[in-house]
């Protein structure tokens, strides 16, 4: 397919070999305004939650020691934590460009930042960014099936480093190769479950292929499973191809973890590194609960996991609060600005790169 500027509804059809999807500019503008209001309201809610938590920490007896740790925290370590979180966001942008490689680089970059903002502040259990990205792509003529497939590829690629880390660190804790709590529940069990998930996902295309013939005329189910199988194959292809931008997925996880590590060094009382890693990886599961910015769910899950892996409550609470402020506000502010810039160009023509198979 030759490169060239064409209308948005035509690019979607040419990109995917699908029918054209006409758009109403007025409807697009109205939907864009609605998404802007959602991000604005999310920022307000995030500010209120942050302020309430800080006030509680500073005022309540026995909790004020957490506030003292924060107020007396090391500024250089906190600055390093901020840089690590910024690097984590850039890692997401890099791997996003790998997955959505055909779009214009500037548009794809802004869309990636917009998804980061939505994931930080929209109360949808991590689905806010996916929903925003799907809407933007649909305005450019991309059919739902393709959006779902590319989004699933993105999810798989950004999840691989976390599952790999759980397997490796769990094995090291179990064997006593690194210091930390290496009992079955806190080391071997998480590692075994993570390995089982990896094996199950890798087998999905083959399993779905066998199920397809049995599903008969259940078109929606077959279509959904087909998208999942295609996404798994595409993600496996990217992993085997070894593009350098896959390092973005590693950076997205590792530098976010480094943010928490730096916050611990800022307030003191860091647990062993292996325990910190396992607590971080398992504690993030709280983000699946659909609360604004994961309020309370991620914080409580992460704090509980840190204590389970050897951290003391007061320094762990202080480190988690500092980490959450950075991991929410940096992508929220930068991503909201990116969405406002993206919104101004939703009706611009696209300059698509050719598909990889034609290169």
Tokens of 160: 């691989």
Instruction: Print the domain residue range for 245.
Output: 5-358
Residue among 212, 205, 211 nearest 237 (CA): 205
> Would you say the C-alpha torsion 290, 117, 262, 68 has a positive or negative sign?
negative
What is the rounded average pLDDT of the residues 208-223?
73
Q: What DSSP string runs through 283-304? A: HGGGGGS-SGGGTTHHHHHHHH
Tokens of 214: 């049995």
> Would you say the C-alpha torsion 341, 346, 349, 351 has a positive or negative sign?
positive
The domain tally of the chain equals 1
Residues contacting residue 327 through CB under 8 Å, at least 6 positions apart: 85, 88, 120, 256, 259
CA-CA distances (angstroms) from residue 356 to 100, 125, 145, 352?
A: 12, 33, 19, 12
> What pLDDT does residue 304 have?
86
Identity of the highest mean pLDDT range in 12-26, 155-169, 197-211, 281-295: 155-169
| 226-243 confidence digits (pLDDT tens) | 888 899 999 999 999 999
**Residue in this structure with the two tokens 């966001």, named with its chain if needed:** 89
Identity of the highest mean pLDDT range in 54-58, 294-298, 311-315, 351-355: 311-315
pLDDT of 151 above 60:
yes
pTM (predicted TM-score):
0.81
């Amino acid at each position: 397919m030759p490169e060239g500027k064409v209308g948005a509804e035509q690019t979607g059809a040419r990109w995917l070999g699908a029918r054209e999807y006409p758009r109403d500019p007025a409807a697009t503008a109205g939907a864009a305004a609605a998404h802007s209001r959602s991000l604005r309201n999310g920022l307000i809610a995030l500010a209120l939650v942050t302020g309430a938590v800080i006030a509680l920490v500073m005022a309540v007896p026995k909790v004020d020691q957490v506030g003292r740790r924060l107020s007396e925290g090391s500024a250089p370590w906190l600055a390093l934590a901020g840089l690590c979180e910024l690097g984590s966001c850039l890692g997401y942008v890099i791997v996003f460009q790998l997955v959505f490689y055909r779009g214009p680089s500037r548009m794809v970059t802004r869309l990636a930042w917009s998804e980061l903002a939505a994931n930080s502040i929209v109360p949808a259990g991590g689905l806010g960014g996916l929903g925003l990205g799907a809407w933007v792509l649909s305005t450019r003529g991309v059919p739902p099936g393709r959006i779902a497939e590319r989004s699933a590829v993105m999810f798989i690629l950004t999840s691989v480093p976390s599952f790999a880390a759980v397997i490796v660190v769990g094995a090291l804790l179990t064997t006593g190769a690194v210091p930390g709590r290496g009992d079955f529940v806190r080391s071997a069990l998480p590692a075994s479950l993570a390995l089982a998930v990896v094996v199950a996902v890798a087998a999905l295309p083959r399993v779905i292929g066998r199920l397809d013939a049995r599903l008969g005329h259940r078109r929606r189910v077959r279509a959904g499973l087909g998208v999942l199988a295609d996404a798994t194959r595409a993600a496996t292809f990217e992993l085997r191809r070894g593009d350098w931008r896959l390092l973005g997925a590693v950076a997205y996880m590792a530098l976010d973890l480094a943010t928490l590590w730096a916050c611990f060094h800022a307030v003191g009382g860091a647990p062993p590194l292996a325990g910190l890693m396992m607590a971080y990886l398992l504690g993030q599961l709280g983000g699946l609960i659909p609360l604004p910015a994961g309020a309370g769910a991620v914080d409580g899950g992460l704090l509980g996991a840190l204590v389970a892996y050897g951290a003391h409550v007061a320094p762990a609470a202080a480190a988690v609060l500092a980490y959450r402020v950075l991991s929410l506000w940096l992508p929220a502010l930068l991503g909201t600005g990116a969405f406002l810039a993206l919104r101004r160009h939703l009706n611009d023509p696209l300059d698509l790169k050719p598909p990889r198979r034609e290169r």
